[in-house]
A and B are shown apart, each in its own frame.
Chain A
Amino acid sequence: NGLRDPTTRWKFPIPYILADNLGLNAKGVILYAFEMFRLKSCVDFKPYEGEDTYIIFQEFDGCWSMVGDQHTGQNLSIGSGCDYKAIVEHELLHALGFYHEQSRSDRDDYVNIWWDEVIPGYEHNFVTYNDSYITDLNTPYDYESLMHYAPFSFNKNESVPTVTAKIPAFDDIIGQRLDFSTIDLERLNRMYNCTATHTLLDQCTFEKQNICGMIQGTRDDADWIHERGDGPGKEDHTLVGRCKEAGYFMYFNTSYGQTEEAALLESRILYPKRKQQCLQFYYKMTGSPLDRLVVWVKRDDSTGNVRKLVKIQTFQGDNEYGWKIGHVTLREEVKFRYLFQGTKGDPQNSAGGIFLDDITLTETPCPRGVWMVRNFSHLLQTTVKGDMVFSPRFYSSEGYGYGVTLYPHGRNGTSRSGYVGLAFQLYSGENDAILEWPVENRQAIMTIVDNDPDAKKRMSSSMVFTTSKDHISPDINYSNIWDRPSIVGKYEQSCNCFRGISWGWSAIISHVQLQKRNFIKDDTLVIFVDFEDITHLNQTEVPVTSTRKSSSGLILQSQGLQTSQEDSHTATLEGQPSNLQRQTRSVENTGPLEDHNWPQYFRDPCEPNPCQNEGICVNVKGMASCRCASGHAFFYTGERCQAMQVHGSILGMMIGGVAGTIVLSIVIISMMSQRRS
């Protein structure tokens, strides 16, 4: 349901401003939503640098946006309660030129609007648009769209919906706020002619015979086998044995041959844009506990050959035979391959091997906390509302111990039934003595992972909040709950540590939703948890350089918006550290690379192309270097190819030609004047 008018489409990257009236958490969520666009589309954003058209994110009342590029500085409000990934994505899709799904001209073929149930005076919110104004981009009606109204929109009776699907199975899907649907992305990518995404480098499910261009090592002892999962215990991870004639994985049999025999599987050559990548894969080791799976990287040796080997991480076998998720952080800046080496540890005592499936390589940070909740269906059956399960303790890049509490049937006190609850808490840890307390301005991101093998189709449920000095509890005498867990927490036997008070959501995702996608695979629920400092987003203002045209025109019927800060002549830059930034103490001096809020230098310096006059930009160790265009007669020079110069030989010929013509003219004129005289 996108605008037809091509002048409303943005040029990428879209300049943005994070106004300082936004809460710290909202800023972090907006940057997180940007990353989703970069992972799944060619839409990109850049901090405002004086452009005429840009989006300024502000905290007014409510969540709202204009539709399409207004060719001025346009507001997008992320008000109180709007700081969720899916809400920011929804508003950004408006800004990119999309209306709501149910206002398509053909929507009455797919949904019923119960006009009698709409609040009187609010019927105009259910209009449809003519297809001369909007286009469906040749995509079918999408019940799963992030842009669809929820069933109870503008309803006058709390329990009676205003929108229902003509196919009842979609009644609990319309209005989903997990993430972009597959068709949302198809439309976005069609509207903006996207052919690739910014941060998805490679992925492979091994379903095709070409194994995604991977190659077998030539100097090893054995080969990985492209196998199909037949029978119990040999299911792949992509389809978990659900489909006939499908469900392939790579397998290295470790039950015969000699100890230390190895097989190598090499990816195709990959060209990174950022400086950090995350390799995620699923593996299973059913042979000897001495078997090893080693991840290597072969990188450009600076002569153009991808041959410089670096060992990255080793995964050891154990006696647990289920599929496990593996994450490996790579820091590649030049072209490279990643390699999986399987090694036989003890063939005489092995009855299996190493399985490998569902590889995803993204240019994003790996999650710090990964919790696989096994036998999830059993857990659901054996627990009741209020029961809770604690995750293991994870450590943030700074050294804070943290974890999550899972409520399989939600927390007590919530009116909702059939929902999973999730909350975050601090754990005491080995670094507590040197860390700063209470720990404020750290953003916790909890994600219930949709394990779709295609990263673009994942619709994970992410909840984000930021620790604050305002988070206090009467249970600890109104102290801050983010103080040291050994002071404000309770002893927890399972970790032999102290657990702080948790903060989270009583009902994060419904059991029905959990069953619909790939949230539960191999009867395992996967949860990612991160905890990172975002203090640097506190104060990041820069002035707006040109006079802003007002993006006013609010059509309000009951109450004016608070626009006192709309004329703020300040703008916000992502990742620009403030002088007032708090000095934090950290166990690992990992620096900004560990941040979720990708700093400016993570972006491709060649986007947008800084080179003028059709110069080609080359990324040389993170710096833009221009290769200037050259013609037969002239060429361009300068750092940005801004200066034109004429070739020496052409210049010589031109000067010679002009001089010759002048001399010849003088001779002719003098001869003619002599004849006359």
Chain B
Amino acid sequence: ISIKPFSKESDLDASNQGKDILEINLAAGLDLFEGDILLPENR
């Protein structure tokens, strides 16, 4: 194994680094039951 020291960070990060469900939903402006549950009308 050869370790490469950091030089220039030209590599790209994927989106949503480690965001959890509730963070994603709150950021989307959703206010679902318990954060991610869609209730039927009779509930």
Contact = CB atoms under 8 A, between A and B. Distances in A.
Interface of A: 61-67, 70, 75, 79-82, 87, 90-91, 94, 99-100, 103, 122, 124-125, 127, 149-150, 153-154, 175, 177, 373-375, 379, 382-383, 385-390, 405, 411-414, 416, 423, 425, 463, 465, 471, 473, 475, 481, 494, 501-507, 551-559, 561
Contacts of B11: 405, 411, 423, 425, 501-504
Nearest to B36: A64
Given A411-B11, A554-B38, A386 B6 contact: yes
Nearest to A103: B34
Contacts of A374: 1
Contact of B21 (A90, A127, A473): A90
Contacts of B2: 389-390, 494
A62 B3 contact: no
A435 B6 CA distance: 31
Contacts of B13: 411, 413, 503-506
Interface in B1-15: 1-6, 9-15
Nearest to B8: A475
A334 B43 CA distance: 50
A87 B21 contact: yes
Given A62-B32, A481-B12, A555 B25 contact: no
B18 A63 contact: no
Given A100-B34, A411-B13, A552-B41, A389 B18 contact: no
Contacts, number: 162
B30 A64 contact: yes
A412 B12 contact: no
B28 A62 contact: yes
Given A79-B28, A82-B21, A125-B33, A387 B12 contact: no
A324 to B, nearest CB: 16
B39 to A, nearest CB: 5
Interface residues of B, number: 39
17 contacts: A61-B28, A61-B29, A63-B24, A64-B36, A64-B38, A66-B39, A80-B24, A81-B15, A81-B24, A103-B34, A150-B22, A153-B22, A390-B4, A411-B13, A551-B38, A555-B33, A557-B31
B12 A501 contact: yes
Contacts of A475: 10
A491 B26 CA distance: 43
Interface of B: 1-6, 9-22, 24-26, 28-43
Given A505-B13, A558-B29, A65 B38 contact: yes
Nearest to B16: A81
SS class, residues of chain A in contact with chain B:
loop
Contacts of A557: 31
Contact of B17 (A64, A65, A127, A507): A507
Contacts of B4: 387-390
B33 to A, nearest CB: 6
Nearest to B10: A475
Contacts of A150: 20, 22
Contacts of B29: 61, 558-559
A554 B11 CA distance: 40
B22 A463 contact: no
B37 A65 contact: yes
B20 A66 contact: no
A169 to B, nearest CB: 21
Nearest to B24: A81
A556 B30 contact: yes
B16 A388 contact: no
Given A99-B34, A379-B3, 14 more contacts: A62-B24, A63-B36, A66-B39, A79-B24, A153-B22, A386-B6, A386-B9, A387-B3, A389-B4, A390-B2, A411-B13, A416-B18, A475-B10, A506-B17
Contacts of A122: 31
Nearest to B26: A154
A74 B30 CA distance: 18
A504 B4 CA distance: 17
B30 A559 contact: yes
Given A62-B28, A373-B1, A507-B18, A99 B6 contact: no
A473 B32 contact: no
A125 B35 contact: yes
